[in-house]
Amino acid sequence: MVRDAGVRKSLGKSFSRARVRALLAVIGLGFLVALLSVIDTGEPVAQRPPIIGIAHIGLRTDNLAAAREFYGHTLGFQEPFSVRVAKTSVADLAGSPGDLIVTFFKVNDHQYIELTPDLASAAEDRLSHIAFETTDARALRDYLAAQGVPVPDTLKAGVAGNLSFMVKDPDGHSVEFVEYLAGSLQRKNFGKFLPDTRISQRMIHVGVTIRDRAAADRFYKDILGFQSIWYGGMTDDRVDWVDMRVPDGTDWLEYMLNVRNPSPRTLGVMHHFALGVPDIQAAYKEVVARGYNAEQPKIGRDGKWQLNLYDPDYTRAELMEPKPVRKPCCSPILGD
């Protein structure tokens, strides 16, 4: 038995350090970092849960019938459900009385195009919001709050039955994070409404205008963990586009840089989404056969075949082959 208090204290410290070293050897550096943050602050630091891909893009229209022709017929996506709100403000599913507030076109089990019939004027941005899927919405909300990002105080299931929340990026774009819950409209329809008529089976990226790349990087890269995989421009000496891949998947967000005072039509080109296709020529022939007056496919500056289509409200739907067929300009594509 050690009777001297100083000796006991010294031995206690040595024993504590030995235990920390043992823990480090067994469970790794990640736990030690979290442990040190608890020691320093008294509370655990929130960790970012996975962000695995694009969940949907939200678009506004003032002509739902024409939009349905484009997304349902030209692109071949089914419209499995809508949300209507009665005059009592009670949300009901499609087929119930009330006004339609949003309808869904299904790309695959995890990705949708959401249309809202609320385009108020010809000058209004057609982009409502972009959305990414996470495995834990509450944990992501807590993480963003710890990073100083304004977030909702509480979360609850939305009208489709999923857990989600919205934040603003530095350019003011609405960015939603969605966790698909059991019993939601999406989860209940896994494996359904996936016809062979779909021009694509995957939304591979969404694009938004960015005024300040450094500010966008602080949000998307430093806080959310997105990673730059390619950048390029109209000419080799400039950067007009930056592709930022989600941290835990393959989809990406495209920064659309150097856009000044765009018209609604130009904004529709910039605020876009891209659908992956295995064969651009086959996709071109199919949309033409469906009655769409398409421009010829071309090879983009990233070396990939692409075909630009436009919905009735000018939003660009870019069809793209996943792999470059010639050397990309400006920078290599990470992972290719």
| Mean pLDDT in order along the chain per 10 residues (336 residues) | 40 39 40 42 76 98 97 98 73 62 96 96 95 98 98 92 97 98 95 98 98 98 98 96 98 97 93 98 98 97 98 97 96 87
User: What is the DSSP annotation of 74-111?
Assistant: IS--EEEEEEEE-TT--EEETTSSSEEEEEEEEEETTE
User: What pLDDT is recorded for position 266?
Assistant: 95
User: What pLDDT is recorded for position 21?
Assistant: 45
3-state DSSP call for residue 204? strand
User: What pLDDT is recorded for position 25?
Assistant: 42
Non-local CB neighbours of 231 within 8 Å, separated by 6+ positions: 239, 241, 242, 243, 330, 331
User: What pLDDT is recorded for position 11?
Assistant: 34
User: What pLDDT is recorded for position 42?
Assistant: 54
Non-local CB neighbours of 59 within 8 Å, separated by 6+ positions: 113, 114, 115, 116, 126, 127, 128, 311, 313, 315
